[in-house]
Amino acid sequence: MNRLTLWFHKFGSPPTFYWLAGLLGPWFFGASLILFAIGLYGGLVLAPPDYQQSDAYRIIFIHVPAAWMSLFIYFFMAVNAFIALVWRIKISETLAMASAPIGAAFTAITLATGSIWGKPMWGTWWTWDARLTSELVLLFLYLGVIGLYNAIEDRRQAARAAAFLALVGVVNVPIVHFSVKWWNTLHQGSTVRLIGPSAIDGSMLWPLLVMALATKLWFFGSLFARARVSVLELEGGKDWARAEALRSGDMA
Amino acid sequence: MNDFFVMGGYGAYVWSSFAIFFIVLIIDFIAPLLRRRRVLAELRGRIKRQQKRPEALA
């Protein structure tokens, strides 16, 4: 085996992953909380009100990062689902299934905050606009993956079926992203661009990016916490998992 | 300071959005902790039952 495969097997082995995730998880949560504090201060206090939307625009400091995460997590889940289906790597199965509830949470936040912003700005809580509808479909895809995984008794078969659904559903990700370009939507186009200058002032842009980074770190913190428990449950019969259970019993 | 909470008249919209965001994240944080506790308790129960009946190990 070459060095990369060796490394993969070592860190993909359940006890090592359990230990490593337990070690890294709290750091991701901690760094995320610090960035949330900085981003909130920048977004709620330092950034000036918008000339058209007054202070209502401040909702974007959570709405946009949550929306980015809803797509990022889906992509992450689909990549892991692909690896799980093709190479049957157990840890990818676990990671894909653990990311689904976090993705659903961020998608729900996106829809709820978008709706709350839409009421004063558009005059309606909801409209069957291409962006809104495709984001709602994204939520249903997440819920479908979670539901399918929990509906099948055999854990590995359940993961394979749910991974397949996650992989098929990935077609929705570009639809969500490009919906504001392809159709005439009420939802505005993107103002933050990777290529070329963003159509947003620097004083509003930096808190947005800090919040985006904070949600990303939060995702990995939560992912590690969730995947770790799944690994423990799946490996319940193994010696290391029994040792961990007894050790935690001594502490309690 | 009061201006900060009023948010130009949009206070109810802005603060409810931020409240939803952090409530969902708190739930996301607690859910795996509770599940971890349940899984560990279940494993300990299984170990105890096996210790009572050693022949059940096989």
Instruction: For A141-157, write each residue's pLDDT tens digit.
Output: 999 999 999 999 999 99
pLDDT of residue A252 exceeding 90 = no
CB-CB under 8 Å, B33 with A62: no
CB-CB under 8 Å, B8 with A116: no
Which tokens sit at A33? 């909380």
C-alpha pair distances (Å), B16 with each of A48, B11, B19, B25: 20, 8, 5, 14
Q: Which residues of A touch B (CB under 8 A)?
A: 29, 40, 44-45, 49, 54-56, 58-59, 62-63, 66, 101-102, 105, 108-109, 112-113, 116-117, 119-120, 218, 222, 225-226, 228-229, 232-233, 236, 241-242, 244-246, 248-249
Residue A2's pLDDT is 72
CB-CB under 8 Å, B35 with A236: no
Q: What is this structure's pTM?
A: 0.91
Closest CA to A127 of A139, A140, A111: A111
pLDDT tens for A165-217 read 999 999 999 999 999 888 888 888 888 776 667 778 888 899 999 999 999 99
Q: How many CB pairs under 8 A join A and B?
A: 97
Could you give the CA distance from residue A89 to residue A101 in angstroms, rounded to a whole number?
Answer: 21
B23 has a chain A CB within 8 A of its CB: no
Given the structure tokens 């129960």, which residue do they identify? B45
Read off the amino acid at residue A66. Answer: A
Could you give the CA distance from residue A198 to residue A209 in angstroms, rounded to a whole number?
Answer: 12
Nearest to A105 among B10, B11, B28 (CB): B28
Could you give the CA distance from residue A134 to residue A159 in angstroms, rounded to a whole number?
Answer: 25
The ipTM value here is 0.89
Among A13-17, A68-72, A73-77, the range scoring the smallest mean pLDDT is A13-17
CB-CB under 8 Å, B25 with A246: no
pLDDT of residue A159 exceeding 90 = yes
